[in-house]
Structure 1
Amino acid sequence: MHNSHLKNSPVKVRVLRMKSVSERTGLSRTTLYNLMDPKSKYYDPSFPQRIRLTSRVGGAIGFIEHEIDEWIASKTTDASLGQLPPGRS
């Protein structure tokens, strides 16, 4: 994955590791991986894309902090409007 749009960004970009994303969202690692997996019934295409921090397959991944914050805010807005994620009732 190539994030060339971040190179010229005047805003300081912070990368969150999985543990921080889990703590920030209150979701388990398993749930987060399900949100990212198109084969999962819990897949959420609006969940931010992970970025590879190493070239090794299965290596470290991270997420752009502001994208996680925006995703959380969108879920808060959905909940306040009475809209639940697919599969939840």
Structure 2
Amino acid sequence: MGSTHAEILRIAMVCKRTGLSRTTVYEKINPRSRSFDETFPRPVALGARAVGWLSTALDVWVATRSPRMISGGSNGMGQ
């Protein structure tokens, strides 16, 4: 996150940086999905069948998530 320039990340790195599965990432960008998240960064087209995400946009999105949001609101202690 200390980088000031944007890199384009492919799906494997997006999953690694966010802790989300590949399926969840694609659900977050699909407006028809129940998991759609309008705050999740949109991918950029790299070619006819390739997309990537700007690292800076992902870093901002991750930084704005609270631990409670990331875990789905449960702390594992029944609260």
TM-score class, shorter-chain normalisation, is: 0.7 to 0.9
Is 1:45 aligned with 2:38? yes
Structure 1 residue 69: Cα displacement: 0.3
Alignment partner, residue 13 of structure 1: 6
TM-score, reference length from structure 2: 0.77
TM-score calculated relative to the size of structure 1: 0.69
Greater RCO (CA < 8 Å, at least 6 residues apart): 2
Query: What is the Cα-based RMSD across aligned positions, in Å?
Result: 1.7
**Percent identity (aligned):** 33
Counterpart of 1:25 in structure 2 is 18
Aligned to 1:62: 52
Aligned partner of residue 65 in structure 2, secondary structure = helix
Corresponding pairs, count:
69
